[in-house]
Structure 1
Amino acid sequence: MSTPQPPMPQAAAPDWQAAAPGSPYPGYTSPIPVVRTHLGHAIASEWTKIRSVRSTMWTLGVFLLLVVGIGLLVAALVSANESDGSLSGENPLSFGVFGLLLGSICIITLGVLTTASEYGTGMIRTTMTACPSRARVLTAKAIVFFAVAFTVTFVSVLLVALADVSMLSSARSLSGEEWLKGTLGISFYIALLGLLSLVVGSVIRHSAGAITIMIGLVLAPLVIALFMFSQALEDVRQALFEYSIPNQLAVFYSNSLSDSGGPSGWDPLWIALGVTAAAFGGAVALLNSRDV
């Protein structure tokens, strides 16, 4: 008959068990700092993403090349062919709009890629696992992208503006508001256009589709209006001219494709702000209501 063995002593609980809720070791303190996550952490994550991918450098590099290169080239051509007094009523900053119109396509592309590319690669699942608050993720993307787009646009626009003023000395002098609209105001507008592209990319979840939609939004109204020859469609044609993106860019330089009304002053900026805010709210609601 075998002798019963005494019960084995229980091993001490590992440290990771001591940190669990209801642990019998309430005095235990984890050596790993535990902090409550907030928007700043999401912003840091999105900043790491946007600066570490090659598409950011390529799109912003092409943007700088288009805005600065075309802006300086147009100013040089105008300066070489101007006659006495021919620029007396011209805003010298307005010659930068040609490069901005083409460069805006780069900002649109980058805005779409900031969100849609993660859906294409499946990386969005990792992002949402790390930060379950979907509104926080989209907000962080928007903040980081807007800061990058505005900074790059403002630097390039200011460089072109200073060069144009120095090269076109015969053009009229500018007021403080014209300087503000032609540099700071239009930079905000381009950054908001890119932010709207980011929101559309979040909704469509397909890079090519979202880029096509945004390029159509920029160019289609003006192109359609050019081919509306019927007098019965004159009101529609005029509205398309007035509210097209190229015309709203020209408004920042006190120019317009239409003389009968439409946006003026700072109106394009408020229109872009309202449309982008409404689209952002819709994107957050849609993001919270469907699967990743």
Structure 2
Amino acid sequence: MIGQALAAVDAERIKLSSTRAPYWCLAMVVLFGIGVAVLLGWLLSGGYADSASVDTRTIDYLVGVNQFGAAVFAIMAVLGVTTEYRFGTIRPTFAAVPRRPLVILAKTVVFGGLTFVVAAIVGLLGVVLGQALTGNGIALGGPDTIRQLWGTPVFAMLCALIGLSVGALVRHSAGAVAIVLGWMFALERILSVLPRIGENITPFLPFLNGWNFLSGGDPTFHWNAYGSLAYFAVVTAILLTIAIVVTSARDA
């Protein structure tokens, strides 16, 4: 069982590294993750904005990762599933690993792990470079900074796993990408501003909970920042479980 699981993870790693799409996605994450931070640092160094209280502005340096980057990671995970259905490689994959949950779990390990590592490195580099450009020194020891430096890769990883789950459920690249991006950047924001019901349902919207954790917590939510992270993680786990069950139940 363990040997088969390790073999499945290794197979997913090989498939991921043998296609071009992940490299393009990671390049965009690096470009925007570091580029936005450097741009902000340059603007602060030129006196275009207040460069005081750098520690409280750490999340600004991470916008390229926890906004654009998280979406790219989710798309990469979607394609990691849907392209197998598109090109018919999912059948030999299931033939090699008859226990289908292992396939989804192997993809979870590979895409989740890659997302976490890349987001952590890019986020740290962005914060260091952005703060260095301000001329006020580099501050990485504050609790707000520390939470955002580890929280950003965790948030990005959960976004990738949601993308993986949606991809496994929809099995169509364009449809799954549209669902994930629409959910992340449109649906929840629209629901949150609806008259009468918006303020009541906002604390239960997954992605808004993820961003609430990164921003430090909104008093209108029913829990603190860490409660928001836990809620987002639980929703992700439920969606991933549904994807595993559905994948095991239907034809390839």
**TM-score normalised per structure 1:** 0.76
2:220 is the alignment partner of 1:260 = yes
Which of 134, 145, 155 is 2:100 aligned to?
134
C-alpha distance in structure 1 between counterparts of 2:248 and 2:131, whole Å: 49
Contact 1:192 1:273 in 2 (8 A): yes
Gaps of 5+ in 1: 1-34
The structure with more helix, counted as a fraction of residues: 2
Counterpart secondary structure, 1:132: coil
Counterpart of 1:269 in structure 2 is 229
**TM-score normalised per structure 2:** 0.87
CA root-mean-square deviation: 2.8
Contact 1:112 1:197 in 2 (8 A): yes
Greater Rg by CA: 1
2:197 is the alignment partner of 1:224 = no
Q: Which amino acid aligns with 2:161?
A: L
Q: Which amino acid aligns with 1:186?
A: T
Contact 1:92 1:161 in 2 (8 A): no
CA displacement, residues 159-182 of structure 1 (integer Å, 9 cap, x when unaligned):
011123333455996654323211
Counterpart of 1:99 in structure 2 is 64
Gaps of 5+ in 2: none
Contact 1:92 1:165 in 2 (8 A): no
Q: Which amino acid aligns with 1:252?
A: L
Q: Which amino acid aligns with 2:64?
A: G
Which of 80, 90, 106 is 1:124 aligned to?
90
Contact 1:248 1:268 in 2 (8 A): yes
Moved more, 148-157 or 96-105: 96-105
Contact 1:59 1:110 in 2 (8 A): yes
Alignment of 1:272-287 (within 5 A): 272-287=232-247
Q: Flag the 1:167–1:247 CA change in 2: closer, same or farther, 3 A.
A: farther
2:221 is the alignment partner of 1:288 = no
* Displacement of 1:197: 0.5
Alignment of 1:151-166 (within 5 A): 151-166=117-132
CA displacement, residues 101-130 of structure 1 (integer Å, 9 cap, x when unaligned):
122221111010111110011100010111
Asked which structure has the greater RCO (Cα within 8 Å, sep 6+), the reply is 2
* Displacement of 1:262: 5.4
Off by >6 Å, runs of 4+ in structure 1: none
Contact 2:55 2:144 in 1 (8 A): no
Counterpart of 1:147 in structure 2 is 113
Counterpart of 1:113 in structure 2 is 79
Q: Which amino acid aligns with 1:88?
A: S
Counterpart of 2:198 in structure 1 is 236
2:153 is the alignment partner of 1:187 = yes
Counterpart of 1:55 in structure 2 is 21
C-alpha distance in structure 1 between counterparts of 2:7 and 2:38, whole Å: 40
